[in-house]
A and B are shown apart, each in its own frame.
Chain A
Amino acid sequence: MSEYLARYFNEKKMADAWVIIQDDFVNATLSTLYITLVSTLLAILIGLPLGILLVTGDAKGIRPLPRWLMSVLNWIINLLRSAPFIILIVLLMPFTRMLLGSAVGDAGVIVPLVIAAFPFVARLVEGSLRELNPNIIEMAQSSGANTWQTVFHVMLPECVPSLITAFTTAITTILGYTAMSGAVGGGGLGNLAIAQGQQRSNHAVLLSALVILVILVQVLQTFGTWLARKADKRLKNK
Chain B
Amino acid sequence: MIEICNLSKSFVTAGGTVDALRNVNLTIRDGDIYGIIGMSGAGKSTLVRCINMLERPTEGTVLLDGADLGMLDKKKMQEMRHHITMIFQSFNLLMQRNCLQNIMLPLRLIHMPKDQAVKRASELLETVGMSDKAKAYPAQLSGGQQQRIAIARALATDPKVLLCDEATSALDPKTTHDILSLIRSINEELGITVIIITHQMSVVQEICNRVAILENGTVVEEGDVSDVFSNPKAAATKRLVYPDMAEGIDSLGAAHHQMVRLVFQGAGAATRPLLASMAIDCNIAANILSATTRTLNGKVYGTMLLNIPGGPDDLARAVQYLSQTPDVSIQVEMEYPMQQAEKAGGNAAEGKEADER
Contact = CB atoms under 8 A, between A and B. Distances in A.
B17 interface: no
A135 B94 CA distance: 11
B109 interface: yes
B95 A139 contact: no
A161 B106 CA distance: 23
B139 A235 contact: yes
Interface in A114-153: 133, 135-136, 138-139, 141-146, 149, 153
Contacts of B105: 143, 153-154
Given A141-B54, A145-B78, A233-B137, A158 B94 contact: yes
Interface in B56-86: 74-75, 77-82, 85-86
Nearest to B78: A144
B88 interface: yes
A125 B106 CA distance: 26
Contact of B54 (A142, A145, A153, A157): A142
Nearest to A154: B94
Contact of B52 (A142, A161, A232): A142
A139 B109 CA distance: 13
Given A144-B106, A153-B105, A138 B54 contact: yes
- What's the dominant secondary structure at chain A's contact region? helix
B96 interface: yes
A145 B108 CA distance: 10
A135 B88 contact: yes
Given A142-B52, A142-B85, A233 B96 contact: yes
Given A153-B109, A157-B94, A233-B95, A143 B81 contact: yes
Max chain B C-beta neighbours (<10 A), residue from A136, A138, A144, A231: A144
A136 B96 contact: no
Contacts of B86: 139, 142-143
B96 A232 contact: yes
A144 B92 contact: no
A157 to B, nearest CB: 6
A142 B95 contact: no
Nearest to A161: B96
A234 B95 contact: yes
B176 interface: no
Contacts of B142: none
A236 interface: yes
A142 B157 CA distance: 12
- What's the dominant secondary structure at chain B's contact region? mixed
Nearest to B81: A144
Max chain B C-beta neighbours (<10 A), residue from A149, A231, A236: A149
B109 A158 contact: no
Contacts of B40: none
B97 interface: yes
A161 B94 CA distance: 13
Interface string B9-35: 000000000000000000000000000
A233 B138 CA distance: 8
B81 A233 contact: no
Interface string B88-118: 1010101111100000011011100000000
A159 to B, nearest CB: 8
Contacts of B82: 143-144
Nearest to B92: A139
A160 interface: yes
Contact of B79 (A138, A144, A149, A161): A144
A144 B80 contact: yes
B140 interface: yes
Contact of A236 (B96, B110, B140): B140
Contacts of A234: 95-96, 137, 139
Interface in B320-336: none
Interface in A155-180: 157-158, 160-161
Nearest to A143: B106
B258 to A, nearest CB: 50
Nearest to B154: A143
A149 B109 contact: yes
Max chain A C-beta neighbours (<10 A), residue from B92, B97, B139: B92
Contacts of A136: 92, 94
A145 B54 CA distance: 12
A142 to B, nearest CB: 4
Interface string A220-238: 0000000000011111100
A191 to B, nearest CB: 41
B235 to A, nearest CB: 33
B77 to A, nearest CB: 8
11 contacts: A142-B81, A143-B86, A143-B105, A144-B77, A144-B82, A144-B109, A146-B75, A154-B94, A157-B96, A232-B96, A234-B139
Interface of A: 133, 135-136, 138-139, 141-146, 149, 153-154, 157-158, 160-161, 231-236
Given A161-B96, A233-B96, 4 more contacts: A144-B80, A149-B109, A153-B109, A231-B96
